[in-house]
């Protein structure tokens, strides 16, 4: 099981500085984070199935989501989309479903454990496709 770092298209060392890191350390950390993403994308070559976890309070139609999911579709890799943070008012699972019509979407809250049974059931179904 691989837990990849969050795949972002933009890593700004100044974001690390906002967390009280010095400039040099922030630049080093940003470089490492970028490397982590490159490695995560390489790992996609070797996986049997992918659980894509998105923040359901954010716009699902981001460039990075479209690129990653497009890549998985092209490779015929089974995918389950998890719309996380349904404990927040802003969360919109329907919007996530509309953005990824190819895949099953399960809404959960990792924070308070909501819908975990449905999630495990979906992972089991996903494993059968792998």
Ligand X SMILES: Nc1nc2c(ncn2[C@@H]2O[C@H](COP(=O)(O)OP(=O)(O)OP(=O)(O)O)[C@@H](O)[C@H]2O)c(=O)[nH]1
The residue ranges that bind ligand X (CB under 6 A) are 5-6, 84-85, 87-88, 109-111
Task: Decide whether 66 or 116 has the Cβ nearer to ligand X.
Answer: 116
Q: What residues pair up with 104 in beta bridges, in sequence order?
A: 80
Taking the mean position of all CA atoms in its chain, how far away is CA 120? 17
CB of 9 to ligand X, least distance (A): 13
Containing 84, the helix (H) or strand (E) segment is strand 79-84
Task: Decide whether 56 or 99 has the Cβ nearer to ligand X.
Answer: 56
Containing 50, the helix (H) or strand (E) segment is strand 50-55
Evaluate the CA torsion angle 85, 88, 93, 96 in order and state its sign. Answer: negative
Task: Decide whether 87 or 97 has the Cβ nearer to ligand X.
Answer: 87
Task: Decide whether 87 or 104 has the Cβ nearer to ligand X.
Answer: 87
d(CA 96, CA 80): 12
């Amino acid at each position: 099981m691989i837990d990849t770092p969050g795949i972002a298209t933009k890593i700004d060392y100044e974001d690390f500085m906002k967390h009280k890191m010095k400039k040099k350390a922030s630049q080093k950390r940003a470089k490492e984070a970028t490397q982590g993403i490159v490695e995560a994308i390489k790992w996609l070559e070797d996986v049997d199935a992918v659980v894509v976890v998105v923040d359901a309070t954010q716009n699902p139609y981001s460039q990075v989501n479209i690129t990653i999911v497009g890549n998985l579709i092209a490779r015929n890799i089974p995918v389950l989309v998890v719309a996380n943070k349904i404990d927040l008012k802003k969360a919109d699972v329907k919007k996530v479903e509309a953005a990824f019509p190819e895949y099953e979407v399960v809404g959960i809250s990792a924070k308070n454990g909501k819908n975990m049974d449905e999630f495990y059931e979906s992972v089991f179904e996903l494993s059968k496709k792998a």
